Structure 1
Amino acid sequence: MTMKALGSALSPMEETIEAIILDAPLFNGGRGMVYAPVSGGISNENWRVKNTDGPGDWFVKVPGNGTELFINRAAAIDASKKAAAAGLGPKVHDDLGDRGVEINDFLPGHRASNHGDFADLETCKTTVRAYRILHGLPELVLTKTIFDMIDEHVDQVRDLGAPMYKDSDWILLNTAIARDAMTASGFDLVPSFNDPMPGNFMIGPDGSIMLIDYEYASMNDRCYDFGIWFGEMFFSRERELALIEEYFGEVRQETVSRVIVHKALADVKWCLWSMVQLKVSRLAFDFHKYGMWKKMRARSIMEHPDWPTHLRRL
């Protein structure tokens, strides 16, 4: 990773991080500070800042353009601090928190996971234990179920004039049916991560796991965390059942169905999110391709003959 000195900015994003380094008291007016981008995120502009004159190594998250539409930064910092207090996430610094900028201690001894790491059952079980800690955190300040997320994005797509996939009416009808079924059965609200991209699981040298990036965290249904995680990692049905048993102590059909329904709903949310990002983001990422893939997978679950059965079991 090549670090740059202050005053060498060549792009608007580099100009933004240099201004933040100068403004944050933690960075001592920029003296001795160097910076470099951290790749992997598709919401924000992420940076590493180091002090060449002494100790200090930080991860700086600069809110991505337009992300205030769907990210509550105060709630994200609240969740990050509660996770850090439980030993689940890195230390959070308050500098510029009022501007939505989040500064954490960098984790040089950890590495971001990848999909291949989750082929290992023990890594998955360690992650389940991390989720158990997360779900036991003090109540978060933000309650936002998957249906709240979907409603928010539907309104944003319309307001922004963002593209809408051709079969949106059919998918949103099935989403409404799932909402009725889930509401009738009741929500099991717990502090939820809601964003299990592989890069958000940091693996330590001892195999332990810390979670980073709590910007989508909220009080949400417990099974949503498993639905979105299982979908993100492309687990086999056998692996999914093993992890459900690891967390819940048994495999109940209603739990399996609840996870599967949430898997489909997660893909609906992220498809809509991608359409919003097409209009507002300045990141170099193919949001249209990402969103269409999410949409097709949601449809594959909703079109399956077992979909009505899963809804009845909720």
Structure 2
Amino acid sequence: MKALGQASTVDEKAAEAAIRAVPGWANADMRYALGIAGVASPTHRAVDSQNWFVARGDAPATYFLKILHTDQSDFIDLDRSVSAARQASTLGLTPAPLWHSPEMSAVVFDRLPEAWHTARMDDLRKRNVLESVIAAKSTLHGGTPLGETWTVFDRIRVVEKALVDAAVVEVAADGWWMRECVGDIEAAIIATGFDEKPAHADGLASNIMIAPDGRVQLVDFDEARNVDPFYDIGILLNEAFQFDSEMQPALEIFEGQFRQTSLNRCRLYAIADDLFWGMWGMLMDRVSPRGGIEFLKYAQWRLLRCRMALHNPRFEFMLRTL
């Protein structure tokens, strides 16, 4: 690990500036090392920020520093993200944020012990892990409302505008058709109504941490807002499972029973979420300076899954059965 004053790159200098800004750290023997490398495909992990492990002297690294990449400024509000994480930490669901600076786009968290590992999709298929993750999300749903409410359809409109501003004419040859179908999903969900609950609103396996004894923690609250709980669960199931028969037990865990209408709602939300992230990936491929991240590959995968789901003969049935 490097000590303060040993920075040799732009990123290291930014990390040192953030560390020095934390009260009590400027003159302390703080050390830091580059954390998790960003990758968009085949898994989506550490894409939104540069992250660092931070330690006091020769002690183990017990802090985690995130500095948001500038190309995410249209999508992430650091104050909102930290506020949501702080609320979740009081419920025992995530490590506590200790300090943040919107000006530096930086936040410091307690770091989970080394023995914890990032969840993989196959971890989510284990009954005990799935139960723990759904329990954590349900606990958050029962908490105090967060400061902002949105739907995935709102997010799609944000990225649509950004694509126009970036002069991206289309995300795919059939992009207009996918967008119209997702518009039908929004209309159907609005017509049937939905709850708005505080939520992690993140389906990525990489934003779930698992302890050796099976306990879980949710991390990265950049997407957290008040949403329909079935969106929160639907995007989790979309990450972990391919078939309805695999999703049914998870919905039994969530609701205490299986309801076809709930599965349909989850499936429809997953389609819309795939479209959003596909559009986001195409935007990042155009505007992000980070050429080493496979944004295009990630976008094409999410758009392909969206397209396949929309071609499912049951799509129209799901629209009418919410």
C-alpha displacement of 1:166: 1.7
Letter paired with 2:21:
D
Alignment partners' CA distance in 2, 1:30 and 1:62: 21
- Cα deviations by residue, 1:231-271 (Å, 9 ceiling, x for unpaired): 11234322210010111011112111101101111100101
Which structure 2 residues correspond to residues 150-169 of structure 1 after superposition, within 5 A?
A: 150-162=156-168, 164-169=171-176
Deviation of 1:36 after TM superposition, in Å, equals 2.3
CA offset at residue 55 of structure 1?
Answer: 7.7
- Note if 1:313 corresponds to 2:321: yes
Q: Percent identity?
A: 27
Find 2:30's aligned residue among 32, 35, 38. 32
**1: distance between equivalents of 2:32 and 2:159?**
37
Ranges in structure 1 where 5+ consecutive residues have no aligned partner: none
Q: Is the 8 A contact 1:21 1:29 kept in 2?
A: no
Q: Is the 8 A contact 2:22 2:99 kept in 1?
A: no
Query: Where does the alignment leave 5 or more consecutive residues of structure 2 unmatched?
Result: 38-44
Asked if 1:215 is matched to 2:222, the reply is: yes
Task: Give the 4+ runs in structure 1 shifted more than 6 A.
Answer: none
Question: 1:66-145 maps to which residues of 2 (within 5 A)?
Answer: 66-97=71-102, 99-108=104-113, 109-145=115-151
Aligned to 2:311: 303
Distance 2:69 2:25 in 1: 21
Taking structure 1 as the reference length, the TM-score comes to 0.93
Q: Pick closer, same or farther for the CA change 1:26–1:159 going to 2, 3 Å.
A: farther
The structure-2 alpha-carbon separation of the partners of 1:43 and 1:127, relative to structure 1 and needing over 3 Å to count, comes to same
**TM (normalized to structure 2)?**
0.91
Residues 55, 147 of structure 1: alpha-carbon distance in 2 compared, 3 angstrom cutoff = same
The answer for the alignment partner of 2:41 in structure 1 is none
Question: What's the CA shift for 1:230?
Answer: 1.3
Q: Which amino acid aligns with 2:313?
A: P
Give the structure 2 partner of residue 19 of structure 1: 17
Please tell me whether residue 234 in structure 1 is matched to residue 241 in structure 2: yes
Contact 1:23–1:29, Cα closer than 8 Å, also in 2:
no
Counterpart in the other structure of 1:187: 194
Match of residue 4 from structure 1? 2
Count of residue correspondences:
312
Distance (Å, rounded) in 1 between the aligned partners of 2:141 and 2:292: 34
CA RMSD in angstroms, aligned pairs only: 1.8
3-state DSSP of counterpart to 1:238: helix
